[in-house]
Amino acid sequence: MALQSKHKVESAFSMSSMTDIIFLLLIFFMLTSSFITPSGLPVNLPSSEASDIVMQEVTVTVTKDLRFSVNDRVVDREAIKGELTTLLQDKKGQVVLHIDKEVPVEYLVEIGGIAAGLEANVSIATKPYK
């Protein structure tokens, strides 16, 4: 007497539910990730061993074609002192210098000296070594 079951169990695995979960996770991480927007004009920063993130009050940017900007506002070289004076008045502030590595050092020293003369903390933005 051969007794066999009429209902056979299928051993195949359906991948459709797995792909649904993967796509849902992908959408979740894309929507919850934070996007970093660079401030200032695009410059090619020099590298350093330590790159600390500091809360900044004033950003001064100098591009390799010697365009100057203070807090994303393009200004003349002569107007930088006036802009920093108005932004840092009556408080000790933080000035972050975003200066392209191809810009002569004299511009870095000039702007750093103006900010230091206004009793601001001066830091230079760098990118870490790869």
Residue 18 lies in a domain: no
Residue 40 lies in a domain: no
pLDDT confidence tier of residue 94, bands split at 50, 70 and 90: confident
How many structural domains are present in the chain? 1
Confidence at residue 25, expressed as pLDDT on a 0 to 100 scale:
93
Looking at residues 104-110, what average pLDDT do you find?
90
Each residue of 30-89: pLDDT tens digit? 888 766 555 667 778 777 776 554 444 788 999 989 999 998 889 998 888 888 888 887
Confidence at residue 115, expressed as pLDDT on a 0 to 100 scale:
87
CATH code, domain carrying 75: 3.30.420
Residue 41 lies in a domain: no
Residue 103 lies in a domain: yes
Residue 81 lies in a domain: yes
Helix ranges (H only) for the chain are: 16-32, 80-87, 105-117
> Could you give the CA distance from residue 57 to residue 95 in angstroms, rounded to a whole number?
6
Residue 76 lies in a domain: yes
What residues make up the domain containing 65? 47-128
Confidence at residue 24, expressed as pLDDT on a 0 to 100 scale:
92
Residue 23 lies in a domain: no
> Could you give the CA distance from residue 50 to residue 1 in angstroms, rounded to a whole number?
82
Residue 39 lies in a domain: no
Asked if 58 and 120 touch (Cβ cutoff 8 Å), the reply is yes
Angle between helices 105-117 and 80-87 (to 10 degrees): 40
Mean pLDDT of the residues in the chain: 81
pTM check: above 0.95? no
Number of neighbouring beta carbons within 10 Å of residue 39? 14
